[in-house]
Amino acid sequence: MKDLNLGDFTPDEGLPLVVSFVEMARQKGLSVVMSWDTWAFLGYEGSEEPVVAIKSVKNRIHNDALTRFLGDPTPLKVVLIEGERPDWDDLHSKRLFLATARVGVYVRDVGWVTLPSETPKEAAQDLRLRLAKRWKQGKDGVWRKKCRTCQEWKTQDEFYLAHNRTARDPYRHDCKECMKLDMKLRQLAKRKGAQKA
């Protein structure tokens, strides 16, 4: 993959960006095949694991795709944005996340707006918490969030994981203690209701 320099990408005006990028990857010696999941194409370099993943979107990168990008182990990911009205505010707010997740973003008629970082500045979990908005990182480097029920600031290990693994906030909003207490109160109420009947 050493030969695949993103700066070499010059798309053909008459073709979709994804077609031009796939052609460039093939000229650099990668075997590129269609994908049926998160990515449109995957590029291989003599191994069973892809070395590049390629996706084409129209105007913006949706938040559900960001979580998938973060969890994808492919060393290099490329998102090609077609469309006449790219969402610049959205792209700007996601730049650090995209670069750290090793995602390069190319916008038609503009060029590369984000290049993948060679060395991630933050761990994947830290990025998810930063995107969740309710989490705050203290000076000690520990992430905390306020429990919705007891209003106390608690660390990650004091919350259960969210039901949806692709949720923006990877943890529930109520702490473990409050959830356990709520469950006990519900069971007690259920027993009392059964005794009255």
Residue 197 banded pLDDT, cuts 50, 70, 90? low
Residue 166 banded pLDDT, cuts 50, 70, 90? low
Distance from C-alpha of 197 to C-alpha of 189, rounded to nearest angstrom:
13
Least confident of 15-24, 109-118, 171-180: 109-118
Looking at residue 156, what DSSP letter applies? Answer: G
CA atoms within 13 A on the CB side of 165: 3
**CA distances in angstroms from 186 to 21, 92, 148, 181, 182, listed in the order given:** 56, 45, 18, 9, 6
Choose among 87, 30, 82: nearest CA to 53. 30
Choose among 32, 28, 27, 54: nearest CA to 43. 32
Average model confidence (pLDDT) for the chain? 85
Amino acid at 138: G
Q: What pLDDT score was predicted for residue 55? A: 93
For the segment 106-153, what is each residue's pLDDT rounded down to a tens digit? Answer: 988 888 888 876 554 455 567 677 777 899 988 998 999 999 999 999
For the segment 36-62, what is each residue's pLDDT rounded down to a tens digit? Answer: 878 899 999 888 889 999 999 998 888
Looking at residue 191, what DSSP letter applies? Answer: H
Q: H-helix or E-strand containing 114?
A: strand 111-114
Q: Is the Cβ–Cβ distance between 126 and 135 less than 8 Å?
A: no
SS3 of 125-143: the string is HHHHHHHCCCCEECCCCCE
Residue 165 banded pLDDT, cuts 50, 70, 90? low
Query: The pTM is what?
Result: 0.60
Distance from C-alpha of 161 to C-alpha of 181, rounded to nearest angstrom:
17
Domain extents in the chain:
6-114, 124-196
Choose among 51, 50, 36, 41: nearest CA to 16. 41
Is residue 164 pLDDT above 80, yes or no?
no
Longest dimension (CA), the chain: 77
